[in-house]
Amino acid sequence: MLLATVASLVALTTTVGAKRTVWSQAVVPASGSASAIGSYTAGCVRGAKALPLSGKGYEVMRPERKRYFGHPELLSVIQDLGKTLLAAKHGPILVGDLGQAKGGPSPRGHASHQSGLDVDIWFWHPRIAERRTLTRRERRKTPNHRVVDPKKLEYTKYWSDDVPAMIFAAAADARVSRVLVNPLIKKHLCETKGTKRKLLRKIRPWYGHADHMHVRLHCPKGNRHCVPQDEVPKGDGCSDLEWWLSPKAKKDRKKGKKQYLSNVGAVPLLPDQCQELVR
């Protein structure tokens, strides 16, 4: 009986691993018109495009991960953001993970980034990137520095005016649904005055995200198989920071983070349209 149970567990682990691998090993996008399918955490993408590794105002980091694919609308948002920040002397931006060639779950690192509509953008960039294109080695080896220390609740030496400028510029794009940042960063932004305050609603506190912002798009028009995330709550969200930062809620936050991390690298139940992409 015990041997049979062990054998079943091994078979299940192998099957789950194979499901992850079939998505992560795809290096050519699925043909067809661009379409985000399913949700951000259980989906895939048809007709994805590869973001060129360098462009005006941006550089793609860690290209060896082969997570520089996304819906064409996501590529457009990244390229526009790069140009905007470069013109405002806050660039270039360093682009982390988008998604895999066909989207789908990745073996590690993300619970989302599955439908071609998510991208991570670093808060910090080396000054050398302002003068020339980064080499492949630099893209692979350059560290990603935290701009806040979540444990000490302090800003690090890597914090700069670039950080709020990047976040507000991303949130100002009508194609962007929300921008996820560390709660301490949101706290800083809540002290902003003027017209930018209306963008605070889109800027949401989340676990981690001390070294990058996570930019998520709305479902593109005409993508009928795309499942949108719930609309962000009304208001600027600043009153919610008490839960994220207070010592009283520490136990609750740890429980929530444990649940969140259990979804990272998991294999969700994908829509039927996704199964067609890997047959």
Q: Comparing 253 with 202, which gets the higher pLDDT?
A: 202
**Would the pLDDT of 8 be above 70?**
no
Confidence of residue 20 (pLDDT cuts 50, 70, 90): low
Confidence of residue 6 (pLDDT cuts 50, 70, 90): very low
Work out the number of other CB atoms within 10 angstroms of the CB of residue 201. Answer: 17
Q: Mean pLDDT throughout 4-23? A: 46
* Domains parsed from the chain with CATH numbers: 49-258+265-278 (3.30.1380.10)
**Total-model pTM:** 0.90
**Would the pLDDT of 4 be above 50?**
no
Tell me the C-alpha distance between 118 and 67, whole Å: 11
What DSSP character marks residue 115? S
**Would the pLDDT of 1 be above 70?**
no
Tell me the C-alpha distance between 102 and 164, whole Å: 32
SS3 at position 68:
coil
Mean pLDDT of the chain: 90
Q: Which pLDDT belongs to residue 5?
A: 36
* C-beta of residue 94 within 8 angstroms of C-beta of residue 57: no
